[in-house]
Amino acid sequence: MFILKNAWISIKRNKGRNILIGIIILIIACACTVTLAIKNTAVDLIDSYKSAYDKEVTIGFNRENMMKDFDPSQQEGRESAREKFDNIASYTISDVTKFADSKYIESYYYTYSVGLNGNTIEKAEIESNNDMPNFGNHGGKANVSSTDFTLTGYSSQDAMSEFISGAYTMSEIADNAWDIAFNGNYVFINEELASYNDLKLNDKIKLEDEDGNTYEFEILGIFKENEEDSSESMSMFSNSVNTIITNADAIVNLTEKNENLKASISPTFIIDSYDNVEKLQAEFYEKGLDENFILQTNEELAESGVSSVKNIDSFATTFLVITLLIGGIVLFVINMINIRERKYEIGVLRTIGISKLKLTMQFVSELVIVAFVALLVGAGIGAVSSKGISNSLLANEIESSNERTEEIGKNFGGAKMNGEMPNRGGDRGNMHGKGMPVVQVYDSIDAVVDVKVLLELLGIGLTLVLVSSIASMVSIQRFSPLTILKERS
């Protein structure tokens, strides 16, 4: 009590100096608050961004393994490679289900494709080379290209990567399309195919397999392929003109009806951590995945998106360190001057029997009281300004994030989606999840000064005060009261 009382008297007495110390700490506190808020926001933003990009694993060819013994200069080598490719054991939907039953996998979705011929519609004639083997559909060896149409079934909207990426955009869509699209024989067709066959929304089309079985589908939407994404821009029709999009269940039903139908599957697994990919691959091999396949991740894509935010984070860290360093030095110097000015007072107090420890505590208390008030005021000012500063620093991120969200919405025909964007997270683990993919919307960065920031600020501030007062503490220990008083006399 005596220490605090004396400290308070000294603070009141040395108003000028304490106001100066207070202003310096206030500036440091403001800078720290803004910096900490930006840092924390940047970290949150990075986390959000990474979570918006799920940790995805797909199955791809192990090209290195396949090309190991391949010698293109020799006919035998080429034949051996072709033979090797033909003998790769494919995986089926039941294999995918089996693979997905892993502690490392949070959810999964897939694309299922089968080749069918037109019954009531005609294939649009295109110039593209349809004889090219479809390496993309590596799950099976269904020769989808020898038929008129490729019927591609998605297990959920998550799987509709062409729409997410913007390669396809929905140009017309039935009002209730997304409510029923994944529950029955409904399709989306290319607008060129629709035009070629004079088809419109809610028309029914019939397709048939090579055994002559027919299957009826209702058109729920008409999509277009964006030219800039087409590699065959010189052809009359786009690549996807004869691609008909449906849901995976519809294809499962077809393959159940006709076992001769060969379907190919492309699964995407959402995993908990990229660190577990190797373990997951080993598990897949154990469960029967051919070793000519390997697991591929989207880690690079997710990382590349946050590089600018990471730059802001590291800028904030550098700024924080420089602020603390300069602030610390200034406080240190002021403390030294303070001690020199108050040498006589120290001498008198020591002479009347106040211990070095109590005296040190009094001096530190003075600084801590001033620092505490300045830190609070600084935190308040920082809190008010941090949001604006954060937003201006991260403006580009916000803009690109917003653009991307709007873009995806439009690709899915967003205007007719009743404004509902169910979180796909809710459908995790459900192979028939029908949720809409969500990309985090950043209309502004919520750079709030929360309890965490306040505690960090308090910790940093008090540490700075204590470190900068070390010199004065040491001086008090070394002062001889008699020498001080003699000097004064």
Partner 1 sequence: MTYKKKNSDISKERLEMNVSSKKVKEQDREDKKKDAKNIILSIQNASYRYSDADEDDYALKNVSFDFESGKIYAIRGRSGTGKTTLLSLISGLERCTEGEIVFNGKSLKEMNLDKYRNSDIGIVFQSYNLLPFMTASENIILSMDANGLKIKNKKEKAIELMEKVGLKEAYKDRKVLRLSGGEQQRVAIARSLSYNPKMIIADEPTGNLDKQTETEILEIFKKLAHEENKCVIIVTHSQNVCDAVDVVYDLKKVQER
* Closer residue to partner 1 (CB): 17 or 424: 17
Residue 486 contacts partner 1 per CB under 8 A: yes
- In the complex, least distance from residue 37 CB atom to partner 1, rounded to whole angstroms: 41
- In the complex, least distance from residue 366 CB atom to partner 1, rounded to whole angstroms: 14
* Closer residue to partner 1 (CB): 462 or 485: 485
Residue 8 contacts partner 1 per CB under 8 A: no
In the stretch 430-469, what mask flags binding to partner 1 with x, by CB under 8 A?
Answer: ----------------------------------------
**Span from 5-13, 147-155, 256-264, 393-401 in contact with partner 1 (CB under 8 A):** 5-13
> Residue 153 and residue 158: Cα distance in Å, rounded?
12
Q: Looking only at residues 341 through 380 of this chain, which bind partner 1 when binding is defined by CB under 8 A?
A: 345, 347-349, 351-355
Place of tokens 């996807």: 240
- In the complex, least distance from residue 339 CB atom to partner 1, rounded to whole angstroms: 16
Distances 478 to 240, 272, 341, 468, 469 between C-alpha atoms, Å: 85, 59, 16, 17, 14
- What sign does the CA torsion over 93, 95, 100, 101 have? positive
> Residue 24 and residue 277: Cα distance in Å, rounded?
51
**Span from 3-11, 104-112, 228-236, 442-450 in contact with partner 1 (CB under 8 A):** 3-11
In the stretch 13-32, what mask flags binding to partner 1 with x, by CB under 8 A?
Answer: x-------------------
* Closer residue to partner 1 (CB): 50 or 358: 358
* Closer residue to partner 1 (CB): 222 or 349: 349
> Residue 31 and residue 38: Cα distance in Å, rounded?
11
- In the complex, least distance from residue 367 CB atom to partner 1, rounded to whole angstroms: 18
> Residue 164 and residue 111: Cα distance in Å, rounded?
14
* Closer residue to partner 1 (CB): 266 or 360: 360
DSSP of 248-304, one letter per residue? HHHHHHHHHH-TT--EEEEEEEEES-GGGHHHHHHHHHHTT--TTEEEEE-HHHHHH
Strand 186-190 to strand 243-247: parallel, antiparallel, or no bridges (unpaired)?
antiparallel
| 204-232 residues labelled b (16+ CB within 10 A) or e (exposed) | ebebbbeeeeebebebbbbbbbeeebbeb
> Residue 486 and residue 489: Cα distance in Å, rounded?
5
- In the complex, least distance from residue 5 CB atom to partner 1, rounded to whole angstroms: 7
- In the complex, least distance from residue 48 CB atom to partner 1, rounded to whole angstroms: 56
**Span from 1-9, 29-37, 168-176, 274-282 in contact with partner 1 (CB under 8 A):** 1-9
* H/E element, 216: strand 214-225
- In the complex, least distance from residue 473 CB atom to partner 1, rounded to whole angstroms: 17
**In this chain, which of 125, 337, 482, 487 binds partner 1, going by CB under 8 A?**
482
- What sign does the CA torsion over 134, 137, 140, 143 have? negative
> Residue 190 and residue 79: Cα distance in Å, rounded?
38
Strand 56-61 to strand 204-208: parallel, antiparallel, or no bridges (unpaired)?
unpaired
- In the complex, least distance from residue 363 CB atom to partner 1, rounded to whole angstroms: 15
- In the complex, least distance from residue 477 CB atom to partner 1, rounded to whole angstroms: 13
Q: What is the identity of the amino acid at 199? A: L
Binding site for partner 1 (CB under 8 A): 2, 5-6, 9, 13, 345, 347-349, 351-355, 480-482, 485-486, 488-489
